Structure 1
Amino acid sequence: MGIISAFLEFLEKLGGKTLEVAEVPVRKIPERGVSIKERLEYLKQMREQIEEEKAKEEEKLIEETIEWREKVIEKTPLSERIAEGFLKYFRGPVESLSKSIKGLEIDLYRANITMSKEKYVALMLAVGIIVSLMSLAFAIIIYLPWDLAILLAFLGFILGFFYMRIYPKLVWRRRVEEVERALPYVLRHMASLLSAGVGIAEAMVSVAKADYGVISEEFQMIVQDMHKGASFEDALSRFEERMASDNVVKVTKQILRAIKFGGNLADILYKMADEFAFEYRIKLMDYVQKINGLSFVYMFMSVVMPTLLIVAILAGSLLAKRLVITISGLVVLMLFAFPMLSVIMIIMIKRAEPR
């Protein structure tokens, strides 16, 4: 009975396979009882069907290609695509220029920018050219003379290029500020886990998985370094090198000292957290006092000075019976000079903010 049932099952599968093959349409021209005109008609229909299938396959291939390109574009940032495109056509000058720029690798490493040095130099040049073209277009719109327009375009290139040069340092400083601001919370987090009997490595993994912003990213990098074979001391040293912060150095030294010579690390972390929080409160009180004076200066420069200037220009023009300043010069003052002063004041206020 077992042999018969197996044979019947084989026949059933064979019949199903036959039905699947039979369902596939087969193009075949009738050979008998059909006139030449009908055969030509069949050939025409077959050719149209083949062309329609080819068109559908091409459309499907194009759609898949577009979807793939969209996924690649979404994953690749615009800045990196611009750098790659610029580096593709100007690799020689970019590589020569990148050799003369010192310290860029360290700045990129501290800012956690994974772009290579050559690619970032290409991005610096591309941004400079874009800013230069925008400055030239603006100069043409406000009808500046060609010599001033070219000068403005050159200044735009210099501004864009050097801004991109200091951009990694700005990113690094912002990351350090965020790390130092989150340190008290992270230290309390680690201290509570250590008090509960969790190891220091597991506590760092917990911080890396938590949502503490930049410091969680840095702790994730520490964990990855240890997974790659680096010792705990080397991983902390790299973290200390990336941050180059006094508070971070203090924390890492205390952790390594407690692990090497013994001691209650949880109590040490609690004390450092309280100390950092107290220092931050003192700095915040000083910042509030400074901001009162800076806000008065900012209001004077952004509101009072432009008004006084317009009144002075009108009065001088009435006395001289002509404009004492050209329209283009007035536009440059109003659209560049005073906004630039306001931006400088905002930067000063921002830089005075306590870490």
Structure 2
Amino acid sequence: MIKEILIKIGHIILTGDIKLYRNNMGDDIDDENNDKIYKNHYLIVVLLFVNIILAVIIPYIILPLIIIEVSVLFIKYKLPDARKNKRKSMILKQLPFMLRQLATQLKAGIGLFDAMAMIADGNYGILSDEFKITLKQIQYGTNYIQALDELSKRVDIEIFTKIINQITRTLKNGGNLADILNTMANENSENMKIKYKQYSQKLNSVMLIYMFISVLIPTITFIMIIAASMIMGPIIPPELFILLYLVFFPLIVVLMVIFIKSMEPTI
């Protein structure tokens, strides 16, 4: 009974909607998704009560503790998306080079199957692995269009889907596939030049903020604490000082690095 009440409180804290909680959860928690919601709400409510107790007993550690907990929860809930985005990023980095090689091979008179085999044998990471699967499907009797459509669904990236759609459309209706892919490769190269130029301009401003947060703030804070302590005596507990410089400030720097990394342009 108490556990159920805690779950409801957690849901209200997260969504502010008791009706949505009842609709999603119901009386039976058999659905896997609802079970995850149940556990997540319970975890957050437990952490809330623990923080309240610690705030009463050891008030000076509550702020760093909350920051650490929020960071851990953020990583926990965002990790699946981060893995998916990492896979997408790896594919997008290799895609312009793959497209250029495919266009070059076709323009040199090499057949589509052999050109895809070179991509599969090349150093294109996930794309090479996916092309190997597609080639095996074609070898086992799947027609080109169906195999390429399945390749597009497995990769599931918009720009890659456009490239595959262009290839399948050309296979159906006829046309010079080498010239079409070469045009697409040139367009992507120009787009990347523009994006990297914009990225470099943004990076200059972000780096100023990064230097301010990672160097100036910790240094100024340290000087102010030392100066105030010499005049007034200790103003913060040593434990909090250690948490600030071993946990809080390094965590802020890590988050800034992740943010800068996320700004890197892709096609």
Q: How high is the TM-score relative to the length of structure 1?
A: 0.53
Aligned Cα RMSD in Å?
Answer: 3.3
Q: Residues 194, 213 of structure 1: CA spacing in aligned structure 2 closer, same or farther, 3 A cutoff?
A: same
Q: Residues 324, 353 of structure 1: CA spacing in aligned structure 2 closer, same or farther, 3 A cutoff?
A: same
CA distance in 2, matches of 1:297, 1:188: 37
Q: Residues 222, 173 of structure 1: CA spacing in aligned structure 2 closer, same or farther, 3 A cutoff?
A: farther
8 Å CA contact 2:61–2:240 kept in 1: the answer is: no
8 Å CA contact 1:190–1:203 kept in 2: the answer is: yes
Q: Residues 285, 232 of structure 1: CA spacing in aligned structure 2 closer, same or farther, 3 A cutoff?
A: same
CA distance in 1, matches of 2:153, 2:236: 54
Deviation at 1:349? 0.9
Q: Residues 256, 292 of structure 1: CA spacing in aligned structure 2 closer, same or farther, 3 A cutoff?
A: same
Deviation at 1:98? 8.8
Q: Does 1:290 align with 2:223?
A: no
Q: Deviations over 1:231-250 (max 9, x none)?
A: 43333233323333221121
Q: Does 1:311 align with 2:223?
A: yes
Q: Residues 148, 317 of structure 1: CA spacing in aligned structure 2 closer, same or farther, 3 A cutoff?
A: closer
Deviation at 1:258? 0.5
Q: Does 1:259 align with 2:171?
A: yes
CA distance in 2, matches of 1:166, 1:352: 17
What is the match of residue 202 of structure 1? 114
8 Å CA contact 1:258–1:265 kept in 2: the answer is: yes
Residue of structure 1 aligned with 2:242, choices 299, 309, 331: 331
What is the match of residue 3 of structure 1? none
Identity %: 32
Q: Which runs of 5+ in 1 are unaligned?
A: 1-95, 103-143
Deviation at 1:168? 3.9
8 Å CA contact 2:119–2:128 kept in 1: the answer is: yes
8 Å CA contact 1:178–1:215 kept in 2: the answer is: no
Q: Residues 198, 98 of structure 1: CA spacing in aligned structure 2 closer, same or farther, 3 A cutoff?
A: farther
CA distance in 1, matches of 2:248, 2:91: 35
Q: Deviations over 1:201-233 (max 9, x none)?
A: 221112101122232122123223444554433
Q: How does 1:138-157 map to 2 (within 5 A)?
A: none
Deviation at 1:183? 2.4
What is the match of residue 213 of structure 1? 125
Q: Deviations over 1:102-161 (max 9, x none)?
A: 9xxxxxxxxxxxxxxxxxxxxxxxxxxxxxxxxxxxxxxxxx96x969x959x66x8657
Q: Residues 152, 242 of structure 1: CA spacing in aligned structure 2 closer, same or farther, 3 A cutoff?
A: farther
Please give the secondary structure, in 2, of the residue aligned with 1:247: helix
Q: Does 1:191 align with 2:124?
A: no
CA distance in 2, matches of 1:234, 1:184: 23
CA distance in 2, matches of 1:191, 1:174: 26
Deviation at 1:347? 1.1
CA distance in 2, matches of 1:280, 1:308: 40
Q: Name the amino acid aligned to 1:352.
A: M
CA distance in 2, matches of 1:344, 1:272: 36
Residue of structure 2 aligned with 1:100, choices 26, 33, 55: 33
Q: How high is the TM-score relative to the length of structure 2?
A: 0.69
Residue of structure 2 aligned with 1:222, choices 134, 138, 155: 134
Deviation at 1:192? 2.7
CA distance in 2, matches of 1:295, 1:181: 23
Q: Does 1:348 align with 2:241?
A: no
Q: Could you tell which deviates more after superposition, 321-330 or 229-238?
A: 229-238
Q: Deviations over 1:302-351 (max 9, x none)?
A: 111011111222233344x3311111111111111111111111111111
Q: Does 1:250 align with 2:162?
A: yes
CA distance in 1, matches of 2:88, 2:103: 22
Larger Rg over CA atoms: 1
CA distance in 1, matches of 2:150, 2:233: 66
Q: Name the amino acid aligned to 1:302.
A: S
Deviation at 1:176? 2.2
Q: Residues 175, 286 of structure 1: CA spacing in aligned structure 2 closer, same or farther, 3 A cutoff?
A: same
What is the match of residue 241 of structure 1? 153
Residue of structure 1 aligned with 2:92, choices 180, 196, 208: 180
